[in-house]
Structure 1
Amino acid sequence: MTRSSVRVVRYSISFKQKVVREIEEEGLSVTEASRRYGIGGAETVSRWLGALGKQYLQNKVIRVETKAEKDRLLELEQEVKKLKLALADAYLARDCAEEVVKQAGKLYGEDLKKKFGGQVSERSGQNTD
């Protein structure tokens, strides 16, 4: 059996800290630091930054909420759920009413929607749908 010629490089903690410190203090990018020190691997320096660096440099959003804010959020989510159900009921009622008008029109042989749907009110001059 032959051994593969893959070269494994191990970096010391102090070297990793030095690279992370340069990224944080000098504003060096991860790719620039990799090139400067000849570090292979796309994620190597990023992992060092996550493990040894200051967390604020990572793209993380931290949300701090009070109990009252969490409760309010839950209330709003419940209200949205109720409103969605009410909207679905309104759509269903509208569809049922349209179907009743349609069936009544078939029964009487007239288009009731056209006949009664577009009458103009004498007072306002607007359509009364």
Structure 2
Amino acid sequence: MMKKYPYFICFVPILSEEDIIGVSKIISNKLVSGIPFGGLEDYIYEEVPAVYIKESILGFELVIQGYGGKEGYILEIRSYLRNSELHDAKEITVDITNYIASLLEGTEKIKILYEEISGKDYIDISE
């Protein structure tokens, strides 16, 4: 029987008056005990400003990207793909967007754009 591994994804749209560094500090303090985001100068998304946490956290990589202002930012969380064992395995996508949004709910200086988050389920496991 082939092993199945979860592949976690999250895309939380956020509005804030803060710049991307300010938003990253707010999110870091709320989700990962202040582990700093960095890499703005790495241009990981070419034209779009982005910061990320270089280390894997519980198997996740975290990225905040966007121009801010009316366009806002996107907090992306996804499974860290450096595990060579996973190449031959079947993945099951697990969307944790609503879960992460619920953790950030009520955080000062950021607004979650719930109307842009599709689906109403707390956590969606699809195969």
The higher relative CO (CA closer than 8 Å, separation ≥ 6) is in 2
Larger radius of gyration, structure 1 or 2? 1
By percentage of residues, which structure has more strand?
A: 2
User: Normalised by the shorter chain, which TM-score bucket?
Assistant: under 0.3
By percentage of residues, which structure has more helix?
A: 1
TM-score (norm 1): 0.19
